[in-house]
A = this chain, B = another copy of it.
Amino acid sequence: MRTSATIWFEPEGRKIDTEFGVTILEASREAGVYIRSECGGKGICGKCRVIVKEQKYLNDLMDAEKKHLTNYEIGLGYRLACCAVVKGHVVVEVPVESRVGDQRIQILGFEGAVRLSPCVKKIFVRLSKPTLADIKPDVERLLDYLNEIHNLSGLEVDYHVLKSLPAILRKANWDITVSIWNNKEIIAVEEGDTSNVSYGFAVDIGTSKIAGYLVNLTTGQVVSAGFVENPQLVLGEDIISRLNYAMKRKSGLNELQKLAVEGVKSALIDACKEAGVNPNNVYEITLVGNTAMHHFFLAIHPNYLALSPFVPAVKRSLDIKARIFNMGINPHGYIHILPIIAGFVGADAVADVLATGIHETDDLSLLVDIGTNTEIFVGNSEDLLSCSCASGPAFEGMHIKHGMKAITGAIERVNITSDFEVEYVTIGDTKPSGLCGSAMVDAVAAMFKRGLIDNKGRFNWQVETMRLKKEENEAEFVIAWGHETATGKEITVTQKDIREIQLAKAAIYAGCSVIMRRKNVSWKDLDRIFVAGAFGNSINLENAIVLGLIPDVPLEKVKFVGNTALAGAKMALLSEDARREADVISKKVRYLELAADPTFDDEFFKATYIPHADLNRFPSVGSILRDSTGKVFKQS
């Protein structure tokens, strides 16, 4: 009889084999997945919430769970990890709010497995002391040793490190640890054996947020995460306004750069503090971002990127001394900036491909990284085509009346019952303050399913419910009444909010349609759809299809992969192979300029309908509608 089972933790895809009888919380620690628990696993704090959709190999709900979880949450598969005991293979989804580290935001992403071979290697060396009979100079003594013992030839020594070498050698009695970058250059020398004190920082500069992992380079483990709002937000909410800022003001570019660097630095410092790591022991940063962020960070003028023919300054990956940016890590370490693909398909997109591995398989994949700017890829190992579309920040909670980021207090899931009552889940299990992107997807889809809005997104005033009303001439639907919320004010979805969501999802769907037509493939040919970006894995897939955000394919083909941009940056931090792979991706992926495609406008217009003007493209939505109301909505 079997007594051991495999537990998968999503979205990392990390798995561990464990004995029957352990709790999910215990298994998670063994797997290196860190789930919050303030009571130490006693069922008291209720913080260790996880989602298990298929619960046949778990024990029944315990009282503690019934106390901490709502019925709606229980219906969604929520459990407390400290109460759920394993008795077979289980897939566990760890929601954002239950993660140790930064609980506010989804910064984890699916990533491919890599062989641990970081670009920075630390080696402990014991040198013989010079004598009158052996007057070999210090640098040659060290380099000859590294050549003879470690087969490292042709190494250079950073000038600043070279200056410090003689004193350190003697202070350390000739036992030192050297940090070698890219098998090329000695970037640090330290007294004694510090070979296991080696860290790197992988960071994604998003238009709205900057998120990074602090990674132990000797184990490959993430030790902490850092997250800040992109400080550039004060100079413009979206890329276009920041490009304008850079182009219209003399010091604009320098301001944008300074803010980007400050943002990365503050994410780094947070992560170092949390993990108790000395920033001087961080030797490398791998950095991704869209092409505009890439140019801003590098202080490269984006004039020519913003104007036709939209030419970036540089495509290849770059390695720049950290001290040039006063980056806050070891000054003689490096920043590795991943390569970009084209005008608006940046290093973040290269990292998406790297993390999902869609360039390595024969399967035909569609990859959509949803953000203020959405990047789309279609193809396989033979050929990959990419494009980019401006989808706006609605899915990140911006331009939405009660929108907010997916932080504590944000409603992240919404359901509307057949009698128009509303059920919702709030991040952090607190009183709600607003709606994040995934809640907007749920809300709009649910309103459509319940007939509260028609396929053009207009409110249906024939539905009788107190929740549908006009306030100061603005039509809205109430998600949470004032007495339920943190602010005491109602949280609603307005007519204008619905329009914003329609425009955003239409841009994304139209981008997918055009690129697939160019690639000459149809939805049916797709083997996999990867959805990356802000939503993480908290989006409800069925609702996304109802909304017409993603195409109507069998659910099992769709995989939410979270922040694959950051995951790809982490792979490049841990693996020289992954870094080379990124360079290959950058060169190999073809680029399609959507603006130049004559069919885009028409596709966009048709995609503003819910789910789409052409319902044949969404056969499953028709059936859902019939299930919920008994008849197909009138297509006005």
A residues at B contact (CB < 8 Å): 130-132, 134-140, 157, 159, 162-163, 165-167, 170, 298-301, 303-304, 308-316, 318, 320, 324, 342-343, 591, 593, 596
- Most-contacted residue by chain B among A130, A300, A320 (CB, 10 A): A300
Known: A132-B593, A135-B591. 9 other contacts (CB 8 A): A137-B311, A138-B313, A138-B314, A140-B315, A163-B301, A163-B313, A165-B313, A167-B303, A170-B304
* Complex-state Cα separation, A159 to B257, whole angstroms: 14
- Most-contacted residue by chain B among A130, A131, A137 (CB, 10 A): A137
Is the pair A140, B170 in contact by a Cβ cutoff of 8 Å? Answer: no
Q: Which of B166, B298, B593 contacts A301 (CB 8 A)?
A: B166
Q: Which of chain B's residues have a CB closer than 8 A to the CB of A304?
A: 138, 166, 170
11 interchain pairs, CB-CB under 8 A: A130-B311, A131-B309, A135-B591, A137-B313, A138-B312, A139-B315, A157-B314, A159-B318, A159-B320, A163-B313, A166-B303
Q: Could you tell me the distance in whole angstroms from the C-beta of A473 to the nearest C-beta in chain B?
A: 45
Q: Which of chain B's residues have a CB closer than 8 A to the CB of A309?
A: 130-132, 134-135
Is the pair A140, B343 in contact by a Cβ cutoff of 8 Å? Answer: no
Q: Which of chain B's residues have a CB closer than 8 A to the CB of A135?
A: 309-311, 342-343, 591, 593
Q: Could you tell me the distance in whole angstroms from the C-beta of A326 to the nearest C-beta in chain B?
A: 14
Which partner residue on chain B sits nearest A318 by CB separation? B159
Is the pair A311, B162 in contact by a Cβ cutoff of 8 Å? Answer: no
Which partner residue on chain B sits nearest A311 by CB separation? B130
Is the pair A139, B316 in contact by a Cβ cutoff of 8 Å? Answer: yes
Q: Which of B134, B139, B314, B343 contacts A314 (CB 8 A)?
A: B139
Q: Could you tell me the distance in whole angstroms from the C-beta of A317 to the nearest C-beta in chain B?
A: 11
Q: Which of chain B's residues have a CB closer than 8 A to the CB of A299?
A: 163
Assess A140 versus B596: contact at CB under 8 Å? Given A132-B309, A167-B301.
no
Q: Which of chain B's residues have a CB closer than 8 A to the CB of A140?
A: 314-316
* Complex-state Cα separation, A312 to B169, whole angstroms: 13
* Complex-state Cα separation, A299 to B167, whole angstroms: 12
9 tightest Cβ-Cβ pairs between the two chains A and B? A139-B314, A137-B315, A137-B312, A132-B309, A130-B311, A166-B313, A138-B313, A159-B320, A140-B315
Q: Which of B132, B162, B300 contacts A166 (CB 8 A)?
A: B300
Q: Which of chain B's residues have a CB closer than 8 A to the CB of A324?
A: 159
Q: Which of chain B's residues have a CB closer than 8 A to the CB of A596?
A: 132
Which partner residue on chain B sits nearest A299 by CB separation? B163
Which partner residue on chain B sits nearest A140 by CB separation? B315
Assess A314 versus B162: contact at CB under 8 Å? Given A135-B342, A167-B301.
yes
Q: Which of chain B's residues have a CB closer than 8 A to the CB of A313?
A: 137-139, 162-163, 165-166
Q: Which of chain B's residues have a CB closer than 8 A to the CB of A130?
A: 309, 311
* Complex-state Cα separation, A314 to B310, whole angstroms: 48
- Most-contacted residue by chain B among A130, A139, A166, A167 (CB, 10 A): A166
- Most-contacted residue by chain B among A311, A312, A320 (CB, 10 A): A311
* Complex-state Cα separation, A170 to B305, whole angstroms: 13
Q: Could you tell me the distance in whole angstroms from the C-beta of A257 to the nearest C-beta in chain B?
A: 10
Q: Could you tell me the distance in whole angstroms from the C-beta of A22 to the nearest C-beta in chain B?
A: 51
* Complex-state Cα separation, A276 to B110, whole angstroms: 61
* Complex-state Cα separation, A315 to B343, whole angstroms: 47
Q: Could you tell me the distance in whole angstroms from the C-beta of A260 to the nearest C-beta in chain B?
A: 14
* Complex-state Cα separation, A313 to B189, whole angstroms: 14
Q: Which of B163, B308, B312, B343 contacts A300 (CB 8 A)?
A: B163
Which partner residue on chain B sits nearest A139 by CB separation? B314
Q: Could you tell me the distance in whole angstroms from the C-beta of A145 to the nearest C-beta in chain B?
A: 15
Q: Could you tell me the distance in whole angstroms from the C-beta of A201 to the nearest C-beta in chain B?
A: 19
Which partner residue on chain B sits nearest A337 by CB separation? B159
Assess A162 versus B316: contact at CB under 8 Å? Given A309-B135, A311-B138.
no
Q: Which of chain B's residues have a CB closer than 8 A to the CB of A159?
A: 298, 318, 320, 324
Q: Could you tell me the distance in whole angstroms from the C-beta of A216 to the nearest C-beta in chain B?
A: 28
* Complex-state Cα separation, A324 to B158, whole angstroms: 12
* Complex-state Cα separation, A313 to B134, whole angstroms: 14
Which partner residue on chain B sits nearest A167 by CB separation? B301
Is the pair B136, A311 in contact by a Cβ cutoff of 8 Å? Answer: yes
- Most-contacted residue by chain B among A131, A159, A301, A312 (CB, 10 A): A159
* Complex-state Cα separation, A6 to B310, whole angstroms: 63
Q: Which of chain B's residues have a CB closer than 8 A to the CB of A132?
A: 308-309, 593, 596
Q: Could you tell me the distance in whole angstroms from the C-beta of A466 to the nearest C-beta in chain B?
A: 55
